[in-house]
A and B are shown apart, each in its own frame.
Chain A
Amino acid sequence: MSKVDLKDFKFDGLKQEAITDLNALSDADKDQLLMAGVVSDLSTRSASYLQMDQSAVHCQSRNEAVEIMDIKDALKKYDGLKEYFWTLVDKDKDEFTRSAYDNLHGGYFIRVKAGAKIKEPIQSCLMLKSEHVGQNVHNLVIIEEGAEAHIITGCSVAHGTKAGAHLGISEFFVKKNASLTFTMVHNWSESVAVRPRSAGMVEEGGKFLNNYVLLKPVQDLQMYPAITLNGPDSVARFNSVVVATEGSHLDMGNRVIMNAPNTRCEIIARTIASGGTIINRGHIAAHHVPSKGHLECQGLILGGGRIWAIPELDGTVEGVELSHEASVGKIAQEEIEYLMARGMDEDEATSTIVRGFLNTDIMGLPERLQKEIDKQIEELQSSDAM
């Protein structure tokens, strides 16, 4: 495994000017944002946040029930956010968390007020713009009691920027009967190192639905967000679609701890290695009953690479219902022949099956983002990458 040396990156002095109107961004930057699911036309978003390098450059809410600001401002306003800040992620976990603790560059603070059902998604983008930039962000999301929201967050590299490091702490708080859909689209490049450190807490009756899409190369990514279902009747669901092309090293997975009765969770990851390496982790722990969890890691190796699936189930009381299904393989001949019998040649059949494998319809994404993802899959297929 390649090692990330933080000394290779500049963690100081790369501030960026504020941008009042996202339309003022260059077309190339706008495209990069779009690929990560972030639109510059704000009329379809209830709130937006944009971080470039080491500065929050844009922050705006169009819905009074959504509070969005630079985490640094939020820390001032809310007296250090003691109840939340660094309560789920340990600042001493590793050098990456320490870097984010010692030298905070920003990150979003999003609070959705109690009872508010936010229809339009909230969007955020954390972008690397300067060469060899190191970015330390800390994001905090609080969905108050009974509130509902969809956050689309893209991480992106400006057009032309190659090397960078993104260290991101995220802490999620889903309160009683609240619901958060969190969609993350990663759009890095060949020599970017990424170290998110995320954790979430879901209270009674709360729902945390997480979608993750990574179709672009990334040098080295390691993340393992953990969600604790801390109240009865809470639910967590993870859906990931990941492709590792040549040169990409991904060590990723999801963990759910079911810490209350009547909890349910599902972790589904569909991964394709086409030259790259994917370590696909999954961990469900159940400490109360009734509780039901299912873990699925489906991997295809197409044209080289490695997929190492590590599904783990940990039940500590009688009556838990945990299951997992993992596979690492190739496209089934049976499926190819089924389509060939309908007149598709082998290439058409294969690409149809791969497109289906990577299908993200289930995530319920906004149309613009769905189209963008479909386009990326098409590009991936028409290139020699797969």
Chain B
Amino acid sequence: MLTIEDLHVNIGDKEVLRGINLQINDGETFILFGPNGSGKTSLLMTLMGFTGYEVTKGKIIFKGHDITEAPMYERARLGMGMSFQRPPTIHGLRTRHLVQMCARKGAVNPDMLAEIVNMGDFLDRDINAGFSGGEIKRSELLQLMAQQPDLVLFDEPESGVDMENMQLVGQVARDVLDGKFSVAPDLSLKERKEKVTTAGLIITHTGYILDYVNADRGQVLYHGHLCCEGRPRDILDHIRQHGYQECVRCMN
């Protein structure tokens, strides 16, 4: 699905990613840990193709295409989707309209999808205008459900979400990763699973999301380097016990 080779990224003069190598296979969910400022968000932004993240070395291969220099919309059209942490408000753009525009793979029913994430009342509001933390997450998921990406980039699905909403966000995040909205719903669960190749790259601080999604592998990003590959649960336990200090030792 995704191969990152020796990726170096600068923001202005500052190098924020220093030689990242990462492979995410079809159907796999990968968890990225790391302290604040370690470069996690920068990695996601670079993968999506935001301006200001300058790739100085290395490449990004997505579904067999070298997308290192590709514009953002090409990446999106190839099947990359992202849940934004702090999406902008766009005046006069109704959530309903945006959901419809996200659905490039075929028309969707915004009302039906909105009901799943409890966003029915927001469809006729301007996108993100006055949305709370939980509402932003649900709105981002709503757009992803319509978009049906093959690789989902999640930046901290649990931030700003209360416990009650966490359950909903976690469940739907899982459904998106399970390809529930992209594969014919008349197939049995088993058949669907075999067909689904949707992969995910998730940033988490708290690890709450691990209660919901089926994460295969994880790694810690520290000072722009990846280290400590392992099972996400184990990594989380380790960080809880020892903090990120261990990463310094680990890398040296």
Contacts and interface: CB of A to CB of B under 8 A. Distances in A.
Given A333-B51, A338-B90, A343-B76, A356 B126 contact: yes
A238 B50 CA distance: 38
Contact of B104 (A343, A356, A357, A361): A343
B87 interface: yes
Interface in A335-356: 335, 337-346, 349, 352-353, 355-356
Interface residues of B, number: 25
Interface string A40-81: 000000000000000000000000000000000000000000
B88 A338 contact: yes
Interface string B53-91: 000000000000000000111001100011010011011
A13 B81 CA distance: 67
B143 A357 contact: no
B91 A356 contact: yes
A356 B96 CA distance: 13
B88 A341 contact: no
Contacts of B101: 339, 342-344, 352
B237 to A, nearest CB: 33
Contacts of A359: 91-93
Nearest to A241: B92
Interface string B96-127: 00100110100000000000000000000010
Contacts of A332: 88
Interface residues of A, number: 25
Contacts of A355: 92-93
A358 interface: yes
A342 B102 contact: yes
Contacts of A341: 48, 72-73, 76, 81-82, 84
Contacts of B147: 342-343
B73 A340 contact: yes
Nearest to B128: A338
A358 B90 contact: no
Contact of B76 (A335, A340, A352, A361): A340
B77 A343 contact: yes
Contacts of A344: 73, 101
Contact of B90 (A270, A335, A340, A343): A335
A338 B76 contact: no
Contacts of B84: 338, 341
Contacts of B104: 343
A334 interface: yes
Contacts of B81: 341
A338 B81 CA distance: 11
A359 B104 CA distance: 24
B71 A337 contact: no
A340 B88 contact: no
Contacts of A333: 51
Contacts of B77: 343
B220 to A, nearest CB: 26
Given A337-B50, A356-B126, A342 B76 contact: yes
5 closest Cβ pairs, A-B complex: A359-B92, A356-B92, A356-B93, A343-B76, A340-B72
Interface of A: 270, 298, 332-335, 337-346, 349, 352-353, 355-359, 361
Interface of B: 48, 50-51, 71-73, 76-77, 81-82, 84, 87-88, 90-94, 98, 101-102, 104, 126, 143, 147
24 contacts: A333-B51, A334-B88, A338-B87, A338-B88, A338-B90, A339-B98, A339-B101, A340-B73, A341-B72, A341-B73, A341-B84, A342-B76, A342-B98, A343-B73, A343-B76, A343-B77, A352-B93, A352-B101, A353-B90, A355-B93, A356-B90, A359-B91, A359-B92, A359-B93
